[in-house]
Amino acid sequence: MDSAVDTLQDPAPSNMSPSESAYRQLRDRLLIGGFPLTRQLAEKRLAAMFGVSRTPVRHALIRLHGEGLVSQHAQGGYRPAVPDPNDIACLYEARRALEIGALWRPEEAGTSHDRGKLDALREDWEALRRDPPPADAEFVTTDEDFHIRLAQAAGNEVVADLLRSVNARIRVIRIHDFLSDDRIEVTIGEHLGILQAVAADDPAGAEKLFRAHLAKSKEIAEERALRAIARMATLD
């Protein structure tokens, strides 16, 4: 393994199972571009690196394959995945269309957003603003939950289900947006701003805020993902 990569190794967290520890350490190293793009992610080498047996590593690789962070190697096993830029662009377009449609749905249907769902969502995110979590790739699921629940408050579960599917496919890029504390705090503030506009029955204002929120998140996530891929391309 490249010596520069070895310096990235962290000790396995003592409060996690071997499978979860292997998964998180491997995921985090992939996110910063810690493996050569073309080299197979060998179970034996990874097991020694993370201080676990090969079985937890195998489970971690299967899980990461499902999340799109590793791909099948031509000679067997896995290697770091390289997302298709065209697919990512199309997925972001689909997400934008779904969420903007949900923001406008109540006005166009002559109804209103579910106030109980909006209030519960605001309370959850106000709590996060008071006590922001540390930067962690896992925050992507919390972020996804916000957007799903906001769509559900508009009253169309089909849109929410479609958004779940898009989020799952785009997560391989979006996960890069939550690797610094400042991005967590900015995201929380922007979510609460969107909620405030929705609660004020201002879909135009909510759409403007959402478009800016999505554009910035996409820019940062893609830049960090490309940086990680570029780093992997230099390793051998």
Q: pLDDT digit string (tens) for 43-83?
A: 999 999 999 999 999 999 999 999 989 998 777 899 999 88
Residue scoring higher pLDDT (89 or 7): 89
Say whether 213 sits in a helix, a strand or coil.
helix
Specify the pTM.
Answer: 0.84
**Going by CATH, does the domain composed of 85-229 fall within 1.20.120.530?**
yes
Q: For residue 157, count CB atoms less than 10 angstroms from its CB and return exposed for 0-12, middle for 13-18, buried for 19 or more.
A: exposed
Is residue 19 over pLDDT 90? yes
Domain definitions of the chain by residue range: 3-81, 85-229
Residue type, 127: A
Query: Residue 9 pLDDT > 60, yes or no?
Result: no
Which one is the CATH code of 3-81: 3.40.630.10, 3.40.1360.10, 3.30.70.260, 1.10.10.10?
Answer: 1.10.10.10
Enter the DSSP assignment of 175: G
- What is d(CA 159, CA 98) in angstroms, rounded to the nearest whole number? 6
Q: Which two tokens stand for residue 73?
A: 């190697």
